[in-house]
Chains A and B, each alone.
Chain A
Amino acid sequence: AQKITQTQPGMFVQEKEAVTLDCTYDTSDQSYGLFWYKQPSSGEMIFLIYQGSYDEQNATEGRYSLNFQKARKSANLVISASQLGDSAMYFCAMRDAYPMYSGGGADGLTFGKGTHLIIQP
């Protein structure tokens, strides 16, 4: 079964500083995908970035990058030059590519408990 662990329940960061949000995962599958989503207080889950398990390069999307360390089963999100609008809950999630073969069961995403990020001016 898949598991996502986010060890930082909350973080306070000064505006314009870089932020690293931690995520570790567990799966028995060799092929899987890792995701980060942002959830503002409005409730909508906003897709930020994706990393495939066989991707050799770390994923980047604008100010977001994913620090993927496969051997450590780590997929940390890095936000450069934080902005006040970055204040939100951030969720790490994963899905096996072939859950029916890995015993992971369904094709839905497995989420962590999230990190509440607050950017201070």
Chain B
Amino acid sequence: DTGVSQDPRHKITKRGQNVTFRCDPISEHNRLYWYRQTLGQGPEFLTYFQNEAQLEKSRLLSDRFSAERPKGSFSTLEIQRTEQGDSAMYLCASSFWRREVDTQYFGPGTRLTVL
């Protein structure tokens, strides 16, 4: 059973550029979550999907952030017009949710550096 994978693992970009990250969840999982983690902090929830539906996006940090999960499998997180403050680790997690509380399994993360 393969775990959650994320690509790329590292991304360096210049301020103002757009970046896109990909997450492939564990195959039988129906939920997919995105988090951001800045230095010295715990992860901060951004958004999540149940199958294809994005059920929560009010926590996305600004309208420059968007996420998709077009066929209910992999997901992408895009940041437009990157700013230096966007430099962080972006973590993806997946789970199989039936009711109440699900256990989320995380990928290795994508570390973004905005110059």
In the assembled complex, the CB of B48 is this many whole angstroms from the nearest CB of chain A, namely: 6
Cβ A43 vs Cβ B48 within 8 A: no
Cβ B101 vs Cβ A45 within 8 A: no
Interface size on B, residues (CB 8 A): 28
Given A37-B106, A47-B104, A97-B101: A111 and B43 within 8 A (CB)?
yes
A45 (CB) vs chain B CBs: closest residue: B106
- Complex CA gap A111/B44 in Å reads 7
Given A33-B101, A52-B101, A106-B58: A43 and B109 within 8 A (CB)?
yes
Cβ A45 vs Cβ B58 within 8 A: no
Option from B43, B89, B100, B111 in Cβ contact (under 8 Å) with A31: B100
B25 at the interface (CB under 8 A from A): no
A-B contact count (CB 8 A): 73
B91 at the interface (CB under 8 A from A): yes
- Complex CA gap A98/B89 in Å reads 28
Against A, the Cβ 8 Å flags (1 = close, 0 = not) of B34-50 are 01000011111110100
- Complex CA gap A95/B45 in Å reads 11
Cβ A47 vs Cβ B33 within 8 A: no
B59 at the interface (CB under 8 A from A): yes
B93 (CB) vs chain A CBs: closest residue: A45
B34 (CB) vs chain A CBs: closest residue: A108
Cβ B56 vs Cβ A108 within 8 A: yes
Option from B40, B45, B103, B109 in Cβ contact (under 8 Å) with A35: B103
B105 at the interface (CB under 8 A from A): yes
Cβ A107 vs Cβ B48 within 8 A: yes
- Complex CA gap A82/B41 in Å reads 24
Q: List 10 A-B contacts (CB under 8 A).
A: A42-B108, A44-B106, A47-B104, A47-B105, A106-B58, A107-B31, A108-B46, A108-B59, A109-B43, A113-B41
Binding site for B on A (CB under 8 A): 4, 31-33, 35, 37, 42-47, 50, 52, 91, 93, 95, 97-98, 105-114
Binding site for A on B (CB under 8 A): 31, 33, 35, 40-46, 48, 55-56, 58-59, 89, 91, 93, 100-101, 103-109, 111
